[in-house]
Amino acid sequence: MTVLSVDSPARDQVAALRSRAVSARELLDLHLDRIAERNPHLNALVSVDEERARAGAAAADEAVAGGGEVGPLHGLPFAFKDTHEVAGWRTTYGSPIFADHVPDRDELIVERIRAAGAVTIGRTNVPELAAGSHTFNRIFGTTLNPVDPSRTAGGSSGGAACALAAGMVPLAEGSDMGGSLRNPASFCGVVGLRPSLGRVPAWPQANQWETTSVGGPMARDVRDLALLLSVLAGPDPRAPLALGDPGSAFANPAAAPLAGLRVALTVDVDGAFEVDHEVAGVVEAAGRRLAAAGARVRAAAPDLGLADETFRTLRAWHFQARYADLLAAHPDQVKPALADNIRAGEPLTGADVARAYEQRTALSETMRIFFEDHDVLLLPVSQVPPFPADQEFPTEINGRPMETYLDWMRSAYLITVTGCPAISVPAGTTRDGLPVGVQLVAPHGADLRLLEVALAVEELAFEGMG
């Protein structure tokens, strides 16, 4: 019998709690010990409250002892991304402006996880206002990579990915606009899913029709990720764009047969971006493993020529609409790169935004047609491996300069504006042992199919690395 530890799969921890092989108090203690051991060096968790966590674990044990129905995450320690509001817990958004902000209600994603029985222990660190794929801010400092602490954990869900990989939490949630679930998952060697638009509903929203950012799950393997997605997914009357499939549909995916699977492989989407040579090698090796397992792998890419302008326009419009007043009121408390991002939206016209939405519609149609001939698209998650933590962003790739701090994230954000589900699955390492994930993309709404393929790819990668 395997001894339960903080590194055990979340589903094994849930099973142990249900069978009373371990209590929620004991499981919390195991995680608090790991947090005490690793968090001071990695800085993944913030606003940790042991006293309230212990009270939550005690309540979870009492519920199990009472013999009533318990949720699918009952008793699991959980830390929420510090951009998602949790009633009664400090939520800073990584900004000094909100250093003392304590919400009085849960966001929907938090509400669902808490209703599933998770025990809140704290928050996961984020970049300032979740802007950028490197997690640092002036309140809590920088989150470091658990594999190599001289490197970044990515972002904006960097604290979540680091805490997960380091065994401080068994599952994690986050959000993704330009790669904020996928990029840190790749950097930290875990799994991160950007679901289809509408799969994980959000509430409250300042603009519920602005859909570049979505919430989603992270886990150490695909089956655990499916467990969390089963809690997060499903319709809600407060979210009119939510898809109707119940969350339970995603709970138990089976690995897809690889024989005959139609895989389109591209390293750079026909030259749309530069990719580090070692990252490219991991993607190509994943394609070879799939081909050896019977998949029909061929070089192909959708035409995403409209995606860069579309994403940058919508991102700038969103940031300006949401944060312009904040920047005007607190000009010295917003990091320069973020201030530039907010100001980038100022010259946009209604025609610019309308064109971006027309282009996004065209991209959706491009992907629909592309997936008539392919089951999944395989490409890099990030164009680089984890970069030094003392850099704000990579300034060059293979000697090619990156002009802005968005340039190195094209491999993720070009997919964002298609609306398709995309998952980062660990697939290899660099020569220095740094994690590298591959990105799998499926048609909109095909999240379960994507999980099934990801599970098969995960098993192949494990065999290849074993």
Q: Which residues are catalytic?
A: 81, 156, 180
* Amino acid at residue number 423: I
Measuring CA to CA, how many Å separate 83 from each of 99, 175, 185, 356? Answer: 12, 9, 18, 26
- Return the structure tokens found at 49: 């409250």
Measuring CA to CA, how many Å separate 39 from each of 31, 122, 146? Answer: 11, 12, 10
**Which uninterrupted H or E stretch holds 401?**
strand 400-401
The strand pair at 136-137 and 141-142 is best described as antiparallel
Contact of 127 with 137, CB cutoff 8 Å: yes
- Return the structure tokens found at 319: 């940031």
Residues 6+ apart with CB under 8 A from 460: 258, 286, 289, 290, 293
Measuring CA to CA, how many Å separate 296 from each of 34, 289, 291, 293? Answer: 43, 11, 6, 9
- Residue located via tokens 């998650």: 381
The strand pair at 296-299 and 214-219 is best described as unpaired
- Return the structure tokens found at 324: 């312009």
Residues 6+ apart with CB under 8 A from 379: 265, 266, 267, 269, 283, 301, 411, 415, 438, 439, 441
